[in-house]
Amino acid sequence: MGAPPRLKRGWAVGATIFVWLGGWALLRGTATLELGGAELTGFHQWLNGVRDDFDAARDTSFFFQYVIGGISTAIDTVVTFFQELLSQPAFPRPVPEIGWLGVVALLTWLAYALAAWRSALLVFVSLLLFGSLGYWTDSIDLLIVTAVAVAICVVIGLPTGIWMARSKRATAALTPVLDLMQTMPAFAYLAPLALFFGIGPASAVVTTLIYALPPLVRITAHGIRTVAPTTLEASRSLGTTDVQALRKVQLPMAKRTIIVGVNQCMMAALSMATIAALINGPGLGQPVAQALQSLDIGSAFVSGIAIVIMAIMLDRTTTAASQRAEKEARAGRAGGRRRWVVLGAGGAVALVLVYVSRTYLWAAEFPERPDLGTPLSDGVTQLTDWLVTTLENVTNSLKDLVTYALINPLESLLADTPWWLMGLVILAFAYLLGGWRPTAISAVCLLVILGTGLWNETMKTLTTTLVATLIVILSALVVGVWMGRNHRADTAIRPLLDALQTIPPFVYLVPALALFSTSRFTAIVAAVAYGVPIATKLIADGIRGVSPTSVEAARAAGTTAWQMISKVQLPMARAAVVLASNQGLLYVLSMVVIGGLVGGGGLGYLVVAGFSQAQLFGKGLAAGIAITALGIMLDRIAQYAAARYGRA
């Protein structure tokens, strides 16, 4: 009888590592394909030429003038209209058509109409905080970009989700496209879309809607599919057509799920809209990016807080709207008489305040007092200086420990191994973890990375990704196991994890930069903070989902707490742990790339450099392609590994 498959795989992994280390020791530093900072390959120069051709074609090509140009003009017109209506001066008026008082009244009334009075109160307080922090115009601009992108997503995503729910062919055709869109890190969208749409509001909206579309499509399709077949059969027995069944049965019953999809779409849109500041997208991303580049931690913190407030406001309001939709569906009515009276009275008050804001300057321009932003920024700057001085030894020791014990050795192993040997090692791990399919996909992705001319930079990005993922998984295992075994811990920690998941990734850079200045470790800290919540929740749910019968049997056998965790719960929750590793890795990769803004280096730095230096645009675009290939490769290896361990 041969050795068990798991034992054979263990020997194969060991042999692969042995060959890898031996090859690295003998051939270290040869054929690493390292490229200088300003050095360009033929592919990069060709991409620069493509950029120049695109710029020239904007004035001569029918496609660019009337198709791309038409789309850009339409989006710019819509965004400009809402900006002049709500946030920017509407010439010849020195103020918007509707001043701050009218905007607050209208959005508060809308929150009550969609959700409930608690959501209206949250929106009211949030809007006042935007102005008091000194970011009224930027906040409303970000809301406009997010809302326009989400509206287009709804117009495209709902029919697409319905189509996927009703057609297996559509599902088979569109699922790989949605997978690709969700696997691509946010940074990878910027350069190619800037190539087509230039920089500005149109490019920001298109980038945002493409990034935010997949969750809405998937969740809509899921909601339509999960309508009970018996309900559909009953409606068909009454002679309803497919269109009537969709309109009167499936959509009403899937309403709550669809609103959850809109919620996820909106959060993704907000996240991307802040990053789109790098392509001159309007909104709060602009002051955050400027503050990060000038190392102004106080300003970055205040504008980051405004983004967090907006994220919480949008998340809680759409969640409350979802819960209200479910409650109304169960009750079979759209609210009582009292609610309609309040809606009518509130609408009348809102219209009066809109008129006042159009008439009086004090109601049009947000007042300069109270000014919460300046003292908060100054206080944060002083606190940061004190923390840096007080904790300098601790933070530097931690940074040096991780850098010299983990980052530098692993980077040397990945980046200093000859490219052909490193490629073979990656393919071997892909096969051992997931089988032939991820190996084939990895081979294609590695060829793409090789073609970009950025192999060495990709290996450096892979280094920071793996180090951050390792820290994420270790942290998630400790906290997730604790939450899964202790209901009180779960009750206390889960709201914090939910709140952390609400925060757009841009904001995580601020505290990391404050504590550790610009370095690769700073990007890793931000990536860990971004990846830990999702991985922890998945592991906690996996531990809690272990069969109570198995747990009781283990207890009856006299196992200790550690034996219960290591020999029963973790092995039986292995699929959840692998899934947590997959999701944590993807979250980390997207954040590590954004970490190029704070000294993270690697591909993320090249993407940023491509926007700031015209001669490096091609190199930055190639970096975006490499990021996408790396993300797809890691995602497929992790997914197939999760499926294999799940079956086991």
Greater pLDDT, 285 or 423: 423
Greater pLDDT, 644 or 4: 644
Whether 529 is in a domain gets the answer: yes
Peptide bond before residue 548 is cis, with ω within 30 degrees of 0:
no
Residue 104, pLDDT above cutoff 90: yes
The alpha carbon of residue 321 and the mean position of all alpha carbons in its chain are separated, in whole angstroms, by: 22
Cα separation of 159 and 357, whole Å? Answer: 39
Nearest by Cα to 108 from 337, 322, 354:
354
| Range of the structural domain that residue 590 is part of | 391-647
Cα separation of 146 and 126, whole Å? Answer: 16
Looking at residue 121, what is its pLDDT? 94
Cα separation of 10 and 425, whole Å? Answer: 15
| Residue 528 amino acid letter | V
Residue 1, pLDDT above cutoff 50: no
Work out whether the CA dihedral 101, 106, 110, 116 comes out positive or negative: positive
Q: How far apart are the first and last CA of the chain?
A: 20
Whether 32 is in a domain gets the answer: no
Answer for the pair 249, 240: CB distance below 8 angstroms, yes or no: yes
Residue 578, pLDDT above cutoff 50: yes
Backbone angles phi, psi at 587, to 5 degrees: -65, -45
Cα separation of 497 and 537, whole Å? Answer: 8
pLDDT, average across residues 7-19: 82
Instruction: Report pLDDT digits (tens) over 165-202.
Output: 888 888 888 888 887 787 777 777 887 888 888 788 88
Backbone angles phi, psi at 335, to 5 degrees: 115, 155
pLDDT, average across residues 438-460: 94
Per-residue HEC secondary structure of 124-160 comes to: HHHHHHHHHCCCHHHHHHHHHHHHHHHHHHHHHHHHH
Work out whether the CA dihedral 353, 355, 359, 361 comes out positive or negative: positive
Answer for the pair 111, 117: CB distance below 8 angstroms, yes or no: no
Lowest-pLDDT range of 241-255, 337-351, 373-387, 483-497: 241-255
Q: Nearest-5° angle of CA 367, CA 372, CA 373?
A: 100
Cα separation of 632 and 442, whole Å? Answer: 8
Answer for the pair 33, 455: CB distance below 8 angstroms, yes or no: yes
Peptide bond before residue 92 is cis, with ω within 30 degrees of 0:
yes
Lowest-pLDDT range of 30-44, 357-371, 587-601, 622-636: 587-601
- Give the DSSP letter string of 555-569: HHTT--HHHHIIIII
Whether 641 is in a domain gets the answer: yes
Distances (CA, A) of 368 to 99, 128, 181, 288, 381: 14, 12, 42, 21, 21
Report the mean per-residue pLDDT for the chain.
86
Distances (CA, A) of 413 to 19, 406, 458, 507, 626: 12, 11, 13, 32, 20
Torsion, Cα of 361, 362, 363, 368 (10° steps): 120
Give burial (CB, 10 Å; 0-12/13-18/19+) of 518. Answer: middle
Instruction: Report pLDDT digits (tens) over 228-257.
Output: 777 777 777 777 777 777 777 777 777 778
Whether 479 is in a domain gets the answer: yes
Cα separation of 200 and 198, whole Å? Answer: 7
**Plot region of 240 (φ>0 → left; ψ -120 to 50 → alpha; else → beta):** beta
Instruction: Report pLDDT digits (tens) over 306-349.
Output: 988 998 898 888 888 877 766 766 665 556 678 788 889 989 99
Cα separation of 476 and 282, whole Å? Answer: 36
Whether 336 is in a domain gets the answer: no
Cα separation of 294 and 291, whole Å? Answer: 5
Greater pLDDT, 525 or 184: 525
Cα separation of 70 and 138, whole Å? Answer: 26
Whether 409 is in a domain gets the answer: yes
Q: Which ranges constitute the DSSP H helices of 332-407?
A: 337-359, 373-390, 392-402
Lowest-pLDDT range of 185-189, 333-337, 465-469, 482-486: 333-337
Answer for the pair 451, 47: CB distance below 8 angstroms, yes or no: no
How many folded domains does the chain comprise? 1
Backbone angles phi, psi at 518, to 5 degrees: -85, 125
Find the helix packing angle between 574-594 and 617-647, rounded to 10°: 170
Whether 37 is in a domain gets the answer: no
Query: Six-digit token pair at 231?
Result: 């309900």
* CATH number, domain with residue 618: 1.10.3720.10
Placement of tokens 């004035």 in the chain:
59
Nearest by Cα to 201 from 373, 81, 365, 313:
81
Looking at residue 166, what is its pLDDT? 82
Answer for the pair 526, 512: CB distance below 8 angstroms, yes or no: yes
pTM of the model: 0.83
Q: Nearest-5° angle of CA 631, CA 632, CA 637?
A: 100
Looking at residue 77, what is its pLDDT? 92
CB count in 10 Å sphere of residue 580: 27
Peptide bond before residue 370 is cis, with ω within 30 degrees of 0:
yes
Per-residue HEC secondary structure of 45-106 comes to: HHHHHHHHHHHHHHHHCHHHHHHHHHHHHHHHHHHHHHHHHHCCCCCCCCCCCCCHHHHHHH
* Predicted confidence band of residue 150 (pLDDT cuts 50, 70, 90): very high
Backbone angles phi, psi at 52, to 5 degrees: -65, -40
CB count in 10 Å sphere of residue 232: 17
Lowest-pLDDT range of 144-148, 294-298, 341-345: 294-298
Whether 321 is in a domain gets the answer: no
